[in-house]
A and B are shown apart, each in its own frame.
Chain A
């Protein structure tokens, strides 16, 4: 295997391993902003380890679809991590799947977890499934439109190529990307169940969206789901960096030095992004569930607007 393929594989594995740390960092920032001490940045790892040791308790009516879903979700997020460039544009599977396939991967994960939620047959599971599909059916087109805008500017739908092209351009302001960026942040908040769409730390079932779907999971299944949620947020963050802040990614023709520099640059960007996310979460309040479609419709229409502005201005 060539060196680049190994580096690419390392990139994907690194993404999978670091994702809980990213969530830990965001939680720590939120704690600091709320004047608390916080549980430490390694807390998600401790949670996952604790869960893996437990016995899985499954409801009587659960079918094998319920037990398979966490693995499918984790596999899908791992696939996405292999497609998205984290610190170099040579993502290992970047050729096999482009941004549209990426949207499809996220949809696959969402459908499986929604079906697993409906499998138990209680009111909460189907509540969560219904709400998650509501958020998803508006967020997915918005994400697709954001990707289409970026694809039109860089003339390609392959994410590594988009990142490469956008990173090579000398500093240029793209108004359409500004629209797309705002829409992307809104979709990120919605899809990863952050405030203002969903509160990841709530324990009131009637206010849950994502948590209601995983109410019945325990032990290793729950560990995998927590890890995939962390990985999903990490994937979205790296997509955002690749599209909107692509400078510093090791390019196609880069050598070892560029690669060595790309790692700390990527880490810095992620740190800043995590802090910014924590700030947004602390400053906003959670929306009522039926304001969520308005929020997402705004994101969708902003993304469409970005596309139209690109067509008008040529930038």
Chain B
């Protein structure tokens, strides 16, 4: 009898030990709220990266991983942050808010992690905001663009640019002024980003009296749009605005050509993605899109970044990865400004106060909420290449 009780107690002890070991494996235990006040500190500075490295947004997550590592390597190569090397802690959120929440808990509990770059989707960022806020830790998202996100707390930041700036731009300038549209049709991807994006387009269209004759959506993964396109065609628009990412844009362009439908197409979302040209061929000729930045050979820094990124990632540069690069550079700069007193809370104030940061994607100055109002450019595909339309007074 005694032996049996002993066995049970031993098993339980082992179980507890396993859990304790798991939790101690990655992190050191310090008292919460400890600030690193070093005399001569050469320990690495850890920055967390949360990205959807697997599952459906895998290529964007991978882009994050590559771009942030490139930024970290560049800074480390130039001596690091005040002599301390950056170490990235990358975790895969799979684009799932549940996973993102678990990652947020991990990151906030690791005393060495000073700030976090991530996540990709506004949904994940908004789900984790309460956790990061409670830990007074900065979450700088390269791509979250939901207008409600950054305002959630003083620790939430977004670099991509709010949808309520891009949406109206597309409606007012791209569709109306540049393309001369009077009857607009909108086809959008039905996810959190797509809903926010197209709602803002509609708002902008309403403000200038641009008639929206058709509004359709589709779920992620859809490949056959002939039924929807036929439906839209019935309403006779002169311009079709696609709110989605590069893969569907190229598929839809092909199907439009197949239908023999001669309509002007513009897009919000893929930016000047080269994958569109690769996949779409001559069917995407004439496609116009809005983009916050544009990389040409004339800008050697950006061009070098682009070539290096493409050789490391294996696919072409997209705006999301460029934003991730800038996000990490910004966070590193903010930490650098703290000098010897590196702690979590002050990073937020540094970021909020940074007025002169210029990254690959252009100048980034945060609003009071913590996001960015970008200025957009128009680019169009001519002869199989993206050409930036520069002779318009709003394209600065």
Q: Do A and B come from one complex?
A: no
